[in-house]
Amino acid sequence: MTEKIENEPVPKTFLRVLGRPYLRATALRCIANIFRKFFIQQSMAAFLPGRIPVSIADHPLDKKIPFLPGKINIYIDFVAFWVRTLGFLLRNYGRKVFEPVRYFMETMGGLYSFAAEVYSKNLSTTDRPFYIGRPRFLLIHAADPHLMCIPSLHVMVVIRTHTFFRDFFKTLEADERLAPQAEELRRGALAITEAVLYVKQHSVNCIPAAMYAMTCFDPKLFPPDEAERFAKDIFRNVKVPAEKDGEEIRSHIISLYNRFCAERAASLEQTGTAEKIDKASWKEPLLNFLGTMPRQ
């Protein structure tokens, strides 16, 4: 199968999903959770400042990544990225994929709730330039108060999409025919991850935090070795940043990711029993890290 997922019309996907009772309820819950946990929660924090601490998540390596406004279309595509994938599957496989599509939407809503466990305790921001030379930047400045940087939901969403469907494709009889689509999703996830850095929506610190969150969210789909492979391909085939700077950025991402995982492992060892596992919450390494950053 040579057709590309990127050519799938997003509006038709919404109609396919909402037109099927088995999928509609889950889709509406997913959409509601995204608005509640990201837009509403963030807007309330912006209008009522001081209730939740805000850390500044920038890193000196961010200065080695140029601001490229032209990458905005890739960045803003992160929702359509997974919606198109659902449309591709529904169009080609119909009822056969109803359950995995429903389950994916359920977990996507859960992903926003998962990240909100950190946001509700400690918000974070970065030095985002005020740029409105392109209309989509105006939309971003108007709709996004820029207070939910660690962990990056953009990166979490694309990693979830790439890894979930990579594994699901293997369960279909057409697994080998879907190899190009699996690779397309992986390349797309990397491109969006790079774009969030190019348009200065996130710091290099936000990427390992998102990768760590995904390892905790679904360790079978995104274990440490998979995370390292993903990180090693960030800025791998680009002209900017320079090769030396790209290597330094990748090294930082992998190092900080491993630090979060090590802190989590040490915390689990200290609890000792399953009854106390809630005290070793996955979010503690991220909250500890945010606690070391300057406050806004």
pLDDT of residue 278: 47
173 has a pLDDT exceeding 80:
no
Q: 99 exposed, middle or buried (CB, 10 Å; 0-12, 13-18, 19+)?
A: exposed
Residue with tokens 């080998």: 176
Q: Which letter does DSSP use for residue 6 in this model? A: G
1 has a pLDDT exceeding 70:
no
Concatenating the DSSP letter of every residue in 66-84 gives: ---GGGHHHHTTHHHHHHH
pLDDT band, very low/low/confident/very high, at 279 (cuts 50, 70, 90): very low
Contact criterion met (CB below 8 Å) for 155 and 206: yes
Q: Domain ranges in the chain?
A: 5-291
What whole-number distance in Å separates Cα of residue 154 and Cα of residue 108? 12
Which ranges constitute the DSSP H helices of 201-242? 206-217, 224-232
Which ranges constitute the DSSP H helices of the chain? 10-18, 21-34, 41-47, 72-75, 78-93, 98-119, 135-143, 153-169, 179-198, 206-217, 224-232, 243-271, 284-291
Average pLDDT rounded to a whole number, residues 229-254: 96
Strands 123-125, 54-56: pairing is parallel
Contact criterion met (CB below 8 Å) for 9 and 87: yes
Of 41-45, 93-97, 118-122, 198-202, least confident by mean pLDDT is: 41-45
Residue with tokens 């009772």: 21
The pair of structure tokens assigned to 32 is 């509601």
What whole-number distance in Å separates Cα of residue 123 and Cα of residue 20? 37
40 has a pLDDT exceeding 50:
yes
Average pLDDT rounded to a whole number, residues 56-80: 95
244 has a pLDDT exceeding 50:
yes
H-run or E-run covering 54: strand 54-56
Nearest to 267 by CA among 287, 284, 292, 250: 284
Residues paired with residue 56 on neighbouring β-strands, in sequence order? 125
Tens digit of each residue's pLDDT (9 = 90 or more) over 113-134: 999 999 999 999 999 988 887 8
What whole-number distance in Å separates Cα of residue 233 and Cα of residue 210? 16
Is pTM beyond 0.85? Reply is yes
The pair of structure tokens assigned to 73 is 């279309």
- The residue that leads in pLDDT, 110 or 173, is 110
